[in-house]
């Protein structure tokens, strides 16, 4: 008798084992069907069947250094051999020098860092620090945001993934967003709403937490005056401003950090992803001199076994040195302008492209079933339901054309490694041009 599963299952052994023994994240497990990824070079990576893809989203908007940053790989190997791990109570050269470096590249008087292992943990640290420092409990964040997966960070997250964790931790309050294309509220009006919220909450809000440019919830760039005014509003009410730079940081916007685009120094900043270019898991929460000073005589009541892991810090230090040595921030700004122009052209050519927006190499293409009414194909509810949406279909079509493209709800997220060239952009945009025929056709369904 013919074994039908053997004949029809074209998955690699790794794909089969992974599917059987490992949970897929944020998914109905029956829908999880991972492709094996085996290696990469520069802005490209290869799957288990030997297909090559331009990585147009830096995986989860984190492989900012591409897939063959040898200096980072070497630093990891060297640190693992010389001293893979020491308890956080010891000082290591990698951790100390990376701390010094972050004080140098972050704006203003941000100076002292707590190291963790992910963006989620960086945000958890920021929430706890803000609460300890202010003695207040509430955190205002926005509906279109993602700040992490653990209970505190998902509670301050606004996107639909928070719903399954609710009611979440107490004191997590949501505000509206600067979303010019998809909200009825003007971005600057939404700010005054936050001002009023703070007034109505009384003196109970520890911090306002925002992504300076919203990432996975649609690449939302506020007007230039927004972030400076938000800081003013927070301080007027005795609250801190926390900027979550987990996705916007490390050159993504053509500046070191998203808040640099608006010349704002937050009181606390969170980092991860591009901090090591995704070569090792590392999160960081940096605070201003004043907040650092506070903990001289008050307990810093926070920590992890892997706080400041030497291997991750060695990766972070080598990554930051690579951004500098290869002038990747300036490069991202230049190629980012080119990418923006090319995406605008796509917008003009495809009726299903409602909006293209972004800064540097941090861009979004929002789709629409009806440009006049700005009707989205995918909604926030779809994020929690089974089945694929039109934006998923466009990503799949792009993959068929050799381009990997992440998406969320109704927006394609375009965030390639910072070393991408104009020629690579042209190749990926040509693939996207073909893929968008899928959404154009879906307008008439």
Ligand X SMILES: Cc1ncc(COP(=O)(O)O)c(C=O)c1O
Instruction: Calculate ∠ Cα 363-218-267, nearest 5°.
Output: 90
310-325 and 70-83 helices, crossing angle to 10° = 150
Residue whose CB is less far from ligand X, 62 or 367: 62
Residue whose CB is less far from ligand X, 219 or 436: 219
Q: Do the beta carbons of residue 243 and residue 215 sit within 8 Å? A: no
- In the bound state, the residue with its beta carbon closest to ligand X is 119
272 forms part of the interface with ligand X (CB under 6 A): yes
55 CB contacts (<8 Å, ≥6 apart)? 40, 43, 44, 45, 63, 66, 67, 404, 416, 417
382 forms part of the interface with ligand X (CB under 6 A): no
Query: Read out DSSP for 219-258?
Result: -BPPPTTHHHHHHHHHHHTT-EEEEE-TTTTTTTTSSSSG
213 forms part of the interface with ligand X (CB under 6 A): no
Site stretch for ligand X (CB under 6 A), options 180-188, 242-250, 284-292, 393-401: 242-250
CB atoms under 10 Å from CB of 36, counted, come to: 16
Site stretch for ligand X (CB under 6 A), options 32-40, 112-120, 366-374, 430-438: 112-120
Residue whose CB is less far from ligand X, 408 or 432: 408
Q: Do the beta carbons of residue 415 and residue 335 sit within 8 Å? A: no
How many Cα atoms within 13 Å fall on the side-chain side of residue 237?
Answer: 28
215 forms part of the interface with ligand X (CB under 6 A): yes
212 forms part of the interface with ligand X (CB under 6 A): no
Residue whose CB is less far from ligand X, 408 or 431: 408
The distance of closest approach from Cβ of residue 123 to ligand X in the complex, given in angstroms and rounded to an integer, is 5
The distance of closest approach from Cβ of residue 216 to ligand X in the complex, given in angstroms and rounded to an integer, is 5
Give dist(CA 67, CA 65) in Å, integer. Answer: 7
First to last CA, the chain: 43
327 CB contacts (<8 Å, ≥6 apart)? none
By CB under 6 A, what part of segment 120-179 binds ligand X?
120, 123, 146-149
Residue whose CB is less far from ligand X, 124 or 382: 124
Size of the site for ligand X (CB under 6 A): 15
Residue whose CB is less far from ligand X, 270 or 368: 270
- Residues engaged in binding ligand X (CB under 6 A): 118-120, 123, 146-149, 211, 215-216, 244, 246-247, 272
């Amino acid at each position: 008798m013919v074994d039908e599963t053997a004949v029809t299952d074209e998955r690699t052994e790794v794909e089969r084992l992974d599917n059987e023994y490992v949970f897929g994240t944020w998914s109905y497990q029956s829908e999880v069907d991972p492709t094996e990824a085996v290696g990469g070079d520069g802005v490209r990576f290869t799957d288990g069947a030997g297909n090559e893809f331009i990585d147009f989203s830096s995986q989860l908007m984190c492989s900012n250094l591409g897939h063959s940053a040898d200096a980072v790989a070497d630093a990891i190997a060297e640190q693992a051999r010389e001293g893979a791990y020491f308890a956080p109570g010891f000082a290591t050269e990698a951790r100390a020098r990376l701390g010094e470096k972050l004080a140098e590249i972050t704006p203003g008087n941000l100076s002292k860092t707590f190291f963790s292992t992910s963006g989620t943990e960086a945000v958890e640290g920021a929430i706890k620090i803000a609460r300890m420092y202010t003695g207040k409990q509430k955190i205002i964040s926005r509906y279109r945001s993602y700040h992490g997966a653990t209970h505190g960070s998902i509670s301050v997250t606004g996107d639909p993934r928070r719903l399954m964790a609710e009611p979440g931790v107490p004191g997590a309050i949501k505000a509206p967003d600067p979303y010019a294309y998809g909200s009825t509220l003007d971005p600057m009006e939404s700010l005054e709403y936050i001002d009023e919220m703070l007034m109505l909450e009384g003196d109970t809000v520890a911090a306002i937490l925002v992504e300076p440019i919203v990432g996975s919830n649609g690449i939302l760039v506020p007007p230039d005056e927004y972030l400076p005014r938000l800081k003013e509003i927070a301080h007027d009410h005795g609250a801190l401003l926390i900027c979550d730079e987990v996705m916007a940081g490390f050159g993504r916007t053509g500046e070191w950090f998203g808040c640099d685009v608006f010349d704002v120094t937050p009181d606390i900043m969170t980092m991860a992803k591009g901090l090591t270019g995704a070569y090792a898991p590392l999160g960081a929460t940096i605070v201003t001199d004043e907040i650092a000073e506070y903990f001289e005589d008050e307990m810093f009541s926070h920590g992890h076994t892997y706080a400041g892991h030497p291997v991750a810090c060695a990766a972070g230090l080598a990554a930051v040195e690579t951004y500098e040595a290869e002038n990747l921030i300036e490069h991202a700004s230049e190629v980012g302008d080119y990418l923006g122009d090319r995406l605008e052209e796509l917008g003009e050519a495809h009726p299903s492209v409602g909006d293209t927006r972004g800064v540097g190499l941090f861009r979004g293409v929002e789709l629409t079933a009806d440009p006049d009414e700005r009707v989205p194909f995918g909604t926030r509810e779809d994020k929690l339901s089974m089945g694929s949406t039109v934006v998923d279909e466009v990503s799949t079509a792009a993959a068929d054309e050799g381009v990997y493209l992440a998406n969320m709800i109704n927006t394609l997220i375009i965030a390639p490694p910072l070393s991408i060239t104009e020629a690579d952009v042209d190749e990926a945009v040509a693939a996207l041009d073909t893929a968008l025929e899928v959404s154009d056709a879906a307008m008439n369904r």
